[in-house]
Structure 1
């Protein structure tokens, strides 16, 4: 995928199959999940890592411009708890899907985003999920944030790509602009599968989206404990925590 990166992703190889599915012990399942998660080492410098993915098709032009001004706030939010490296992923046009390198300076990422314009095309959410799975296989990824307004791929295919993220403990936070019911159903399911969250924001609601993005960045940098600590002072953190709880319980 992406600039100098391949978007293909293979699910982690499973361990030995049990003799009978009916007799699989919870301890065996837990051991398998622990083994898969352990394959993604923590970065040596201990910094958090967040993949920030955007739909840059033509319908996203207003929010793309907005995101260019909001991303710096994500770094400011986590500066007090150890820092955050971010990778920008976006898709647009006919089959174009790109990823930046890992960036620790919000200004550099903002400069990159400012050079990108939106182009007509179909959604490529599956390629984003597959790419995130590959990155999580190289080193631990705290979270994947996706901002979009549509889903034109099949849900089963997207869930298959999200599976490796779920196994590696990478939550997907999906922020939906608008009220497309197909996108909402798909985004909710991906959030449920990965232990992430789905939230809707209104078109042009800069403050609302900014709070949600900063809360997701805090999670990526410090985990749920850091997000919980932020909840007393941040409506975005409270909304994200509630959405995570709702996704895990299947609440609609």
Structure 2
């Protein structure tokens, strides 16, 4: 099965009933917070000449099958958009079923990514956005991730816990671009806040709207490969990029 399972991190308690890892409450000493902030500034992912790295996260629960198929067809556009800006590596993260959340290695070839995605089928289950954010933070510290894209339509977790994880990504200068399919109000509230806390952007696309999703994915890839300047340049000709840059800090 494509991707390695994402296991609960140290300090996570696994709830058998909920089927996902629930972070335990903890407090940080002032010196720990100061050290984290210092590390965040030292790990800027936008150093000149740095290779772009993007985490591409997808809700692969049963309701997502049409969007999953669409994303499989569109993901090559993310690579094509960045050809003139520099190289781009993508790490696919997805969740589905009962407590299943997996991540691939870093992929620099669109054909390989498409082949991996084509082997994955959607399965019913609860959302596991918290695991996605935790994995993004771990990779941001380990390999200087430039951005995270998340595509989904629902949120079934504790919003405050998600916001805490999003805030850490914001301190690491890793924006989350949240692309929401549909009009679920609970999901929208959480998605908007995740985007705000990370300095990213929230955008809605209509169910089955391949053109809308394509534009948004192209814009996020441009940012991951070339930073804010690349996104600004693209925004002059692409509506998706304009939607993102209009929200980013």
Gap regions ≥5 residues in structure 1: 19-28
**Which of 112, 117, 126 is the matching residue for 1:113?**
117
**Which of 31, 38, 54 is the matching residue for 1:16?**
31
Pick closer, same or farther for the CA change 1:32–1:120 going to 2, 3 Å. closer
Pick closer, same or farther for the CA change 1:96–1:106 going to 2, 3 Å. same
| CA shift digits 1:153-178 (9 cap, x unpaired) | 01001112222211110000000000
SS at match of 1:94: coil
Shift of 1:231: 1.1
Provide the TM-score with structure 2 as the length reference: 0.86
Query: How many residues matched?
Result: 232
Larger strand fraction of residues: 2
**Which of 69, 72, 77 is the matching residue for 1:73?**
77
What is the rounded CA distance, in whole Å, between the counterparts of 1:195 and 1:41 in structure 2?
14
Gap regions ≥5 residues in structure 2: 12-25
Aligned to 1:198: 202
What is the rounded CA distance, in whole Å, between the counterparts of 1:243 and 1:130 in structure 2?
23
Aligned to 1:128: 132
Provide the TM-score with structure 1 as the length reference: 0.85
What is the rounded CA distance, in whole Å, between the counterparts of 1:17 and 1:60 in structure 2?
39
Q: Is 1:104 aligned to residue 105 of structure 2?
A: no
4+ residue segments displaced more than 2 Å = 4-11, 13-18, 31-37, 39-46
Aligned to 2:4: 3
Aligned to 1:146: 150
The answer as to whether partners of 2:46 and 2:146 remain within 8 angstroms in 1 is no
Larger helix fraction of residues: 1
Shift of 1:43: 8.9
What is the rounded CA distance, in whole Å, between the counterparts of 1:3 and 1:102 in structure 2?
12
